[in-house]
Every structure is written in C-alpha cells, then in structure tokens.
Amino acid sequence: MTKLGMNLFVWTMSMDEDLAHTLAFLKQTGFDFVEMPVGGTDNRPADLKKWQRLGQQAADLGLGVQTCAVLPPDKCLISADPAIRQAGIDYLKHVVDCSAAVGSAILMGPLYAGFKTFTGKPATPEEWQHSVEGMRQVAEHAQTKDVTLAIESLNRFEIYLLTCADDVARYVEAVDHPNCRAAFDTFHANMEEKSVPAAIRKLAPYLVHVQLSENDRSTPGRGQINFRQVLDTLNEIGYTGPIAIEAFGPNPPELAAATHIFRPMFTSPEQLAEEGYGFLRPLLV
C-alpha cells in the first residue's frame, strides 16, 4: 500500500516544540510517516543531536520520517556572489546531514534557489549553471549519507528558476546525479501546468516524492484539485513512492505570512489531518 504522510508545517517551522502528542496523534490517525521541515544553524553538533532525538521519537511510534527545506535568500545558489553560493552549498550539505540524522532518505523542496528571492527578470543561463553546479556538489554529499534530493518547482510568486515540470526534468538531467531527483506538488502544478497529468508523466523517470495540497492550501478534498485524476496518473506511471499531505494555516505566524494565509480554512491542524487522511486513503492503491 502507498505510504501516506503528513507535513508538519501546519504545526511548526522549527521543530523545537514538544511534538510528542502530535506525532502520536498522526500515528493513531493512520499516517505512515511525517514530513519534517529542516533548517540548519551554526551549532551543528546540537542540530544533529536534535534530529537524532526526533528521529528516535518517530521511530518509537512506528512513524517514518522524510524532510523538506527551503533555501534562505542569503544562501542562494543562483547568486552572482560566489561567497553566497558557497554558503548555500554548505547550508544544504548540513541540511542533508540533519536529514540523515533524523532517518530521512528523501530531502525535498526548492533547494536550487533562494525562496522568494527575485530579480524581476527571468532566470539567466548563468544563474541556471550556478545552481546546477552547486546542486551537483550537494548531491555528491547526499550520496554519502544515503539521502536523495527531491527537487520541487514552485509557482511564479515564490521562485523563478524552476516553476514547472519541464523545468524540473531539465534541471535533474543537467545535474546528472543519481541522488538528485524530482518531487511534484499539486498546489504549484494547479497554478503553473497546462495539464497536471502531462506534468506527472514528464517527471515519471525521476519522481521520488509527491505532495498533495489543495488549491487553497487547506483540507484535501474541500477544494478544486482533482485528486482522483492525480492519483490515477501516478498509478498509470507506476509510481510507488511516498505521498504527503501539505497544508498551511494561520500558525506559525511567520509561515502564514510567507505563504499568504490570511483567513482560517479549518478548525485545527488535527481536524485537517483527520479529514485529509479520511479523504485520501481510500483513493490510494
């Protein structure tokens, strides 16, 4: 049976809170894994100990763990400044280390450029090459940690280097490393793809992770995304990898601001998780 997980963004950005109750609730609900947001700091030994502790906490409950991350603007792989690009490479290598420490085999996200970092112009060939070269170094490090990078395109209001499946496929091919693969997110695809099934088919040779997110970022099944079509297409291409629900709410405030969540669309994260699980699990083979 396809493994279904829940992204923890709707509860936290930092993973510094006591999540024992939340993890137990998600396991009891039926989820197979959780998707933990990872951010590195300069205190690397303490970071690794924290992630080892969280990984053991999840393992004790029988929950798998995967990780996700974004690249801060001051560590952008497409910067014209070599020092900023190197800081991004070093940061991502540390996030890979944290992912390995928590027990994650997949680190997904828009790792290739700074989140919400714009020039007002399309990406240049130089920016593309900077990112490809930096990501290849990160992928080489990830291989030593048994972590696969899953590259996620975002919509045009959040990033500008990769905004569709064609971009991701071309990018993965350019990086040309077995530990650099593709992710797919229904929220961004709903905005940027002319055909969601065609986008999934485009990514089929590289796809290792899927996020199911409603068009308004709320409870799956309560909006306009055709999840039956998405899952049928995943079945068609023979996808058997993990699938995670991703949603956002008014908390944590800094994440709500970044994702432009200005009105509550569910009573609680727990209600969203239960309803999302109840809607999606019967659709999964």
Q: What pLDDT is recorded for position 191? A: 97
Q: What is the pTM of this model?
A: 0.96
Give just the sign of the alpha carbon dihedral 168, 173, 177, 179.
positive
The whole-number pLDDT of residue 42 equals: 65
pLDDT along the chain (285 residues), means of 10: 94 88 98 92 80 96 97 95 97 96 98 95 97 98 98 97 98 98 98 98 98 96 97 98 95 86 90 97 90
pLDDT of residue 261: 87
C-alpha distances (whole Å) from 211 to each of 68, 71, 128, 134, 242 are 11, 18, 25, 25, 9
Q: Quick one: which of 22, 99, 6 has its CA closest to 55?
A: 99
Residue 272: Cβ within 10 Å count: 23
The whole-number pLDDT of residue 67 equals 97
Question: Residue 136's pLDDT is what?
Answer: 98
**What domains are there in the chain, each with its CATH number?**
4-283 (3.20.20.150)
Q: Angle formed by the axes of helices 20-29 and 44-61, to 10°?
A: 40
SS (H, E, C) 238-283: CCCCCEEECCCCCCCHHHHHHHCCCCCCCCCHHHHHHHHHHHHHHH
What's the pLDDT score for residue 120?
95
Taking each helix axis from N to C end, the angle separating 165-175 and 196-203, rounded to the nearest 10 degrees, works out to 10
Rounded CA-CA distance 196/7 in Å is 22
- Give me the count of residues in the chain: 285
- Sequential DSSP letters for 102-116: HT-SEEEE-TTSBTT
Contact 7, 251 (CB under 8 A): no
